[in-house]
Amino acid sequence: MNEAMTDNFFDADSDLLAGQPVRIVERDGVRYTLLGTAHVSLASVQAVEQAIGSGRFDAVAVELDPQRLQALTNPDSLAQLDLIDVIRKGRVALFAANLALAAYQRRLAEQLGIEPGAELKRAVQLAKERDLPVHLIDRDVGLTFRRASQRLGFLGKIKLVMGLGAGLFSSEDVGEEEIEKLKQGDMLESSFGEFASESPALYEAIIGERDRYMATRLREEYHSEQRNVLAVVGAGHLAGLARYLETDTEAPATLREQLEAVPKKRNIPWITLTILAVVLAGIGIGFWRGGLDMGAHMLAIWALYTGGLAGLGALLARSHPLSILTAIAVAPFKPFRLSIPTGAFAAMVETRLRKPAYLDFLQLRDDAQTLKGWYRNRVTRIVLTFMLTNLGSMLGLWLTGFTVYGKLAS
């Protein structure tokens, strides 16, 4: 097994792809040409066209997963989304993160005049036109988000949500410095802003792990019958991908299984349980000390704060009146359904009563860029219903805890 690495040239006797970063790794009878691209560069698109057009490759691999490829090649695919299924499976947060990523990419496309990831899309198109095998070697974006989220603490998750939200609703042009970083980096990393570089856990999940995952997929898919493989990846992955492709010795199938695993954590909401314990104990003590009147008063406080603030959250999301009533009615029963958020019930009712139309899905990428668009579009308004109802319910729980504790201490 040996490796030859080159920068800024395609082959020893050719000036094809001059100016493009390239690494060449030879392993197990396969020659991997790793072409580093900028996801917002016409030059990268041209480099891909030249490389595949040269006829030197037996197969093409790209830094995409099926979901991202579908988003690039079929923008209308969102219209086939089953929102009820998204809510039931607890994927609303992931869906919101994908909206943030789509909004960021749209801002870049409008500012730079090129669709982010155009070179990856072009690589797939040209390979299919030439009947070359195409392999999508990147990890599913949902798996990446879930593995990243598990490594972050409570405050880290809050910062992540705030960072995504800031990027989602920003109407300013992407700065020159950020664009330059994007040319040398990765789309997912750039969408998280500065937090990605400040958080080692997040950086490892969205960059380091994916370098190794893509190297594993290359070893898994290609053997000596396909001797020349072109792999089109973001320039930021080039060095790590080449290193893992050269040095990893563990069986690809075993390694891929490890990198796709999302360990099931016993996600015990200790903070919520503690507050609930304080509230319920306080209500019990209230009955014991002050009799029925005081106990009933504390129960009324519980229902007023949790139900009222959950309903207020739904109201701020401009939800349907029945969705608001659902939030008010369901929130006080939080102790009996710890694993199901109040917002899921309100969002489910909102989806039933205001089912998004086909046009809502078509306009989703544009509407997701502005706060006004989020309220106008029925899809994003369902997400707002989910998030703001949960926020209100959580604030109501905390406020009840402080109030009950204050009454008992006085």
Helices 118-129 and 42-53, packing angle to 10 deg: 20
**Percentage of the chain exceeding pLDDT 70:** 64
Record the tokens describing residue 116, joined without a space: 């982010």
- In tens, the pLDDT along 67-124 reads 888 877 776 666 566 777 777 777 776 677 666 666 666 666 666 667 778 888 999 9
Average pLDDT over residues 219-244: 85
Quote the radius of gyration of the chain (alpha carbons, Å). 25
Cα–Cα distances in Å, from 385 out to 97, 216, 223, 352, 396? 16, 40, 50, 13, 16
pTM: 0.68
* pLDDT value, residue 138: 92
Where do the domains of the chain lie?
2-260, 270-409
Q: Do β-strands 59-62 and 134-136 pair in parallel, antiparallel, or remain unpaired? A: parallel
Identify the sign of the CA torsion 332, 312, 393, 408.
Answer: negative
**Are 151 and 94 in contact, with CB atoms under 8 Å apart?**
no
| Strands lying side by side in the sheet with 228-234 | 2-4, 22-27, 30-37, 228-234, 59-62, 134-136
Identify the sign of the CA torsion 212, 215, 217, 223.
Answer: negative
Q: How far apart are CA 285 and CA 226, in angstroms?
A: 74
- In tens, the pLDDT along 247-270 reads 998 999 899 999 888 776 655 556
Q: How far apart are CA 199 and CA 184, in angstroms?
A: 19
Q: Give 80's DSSP letter.
A: G
- In tens, the pLDDT along 374-404 reads 899 998 899 899 989 999 998 988 888 777 7
More confident call, 24 vs 225: 24
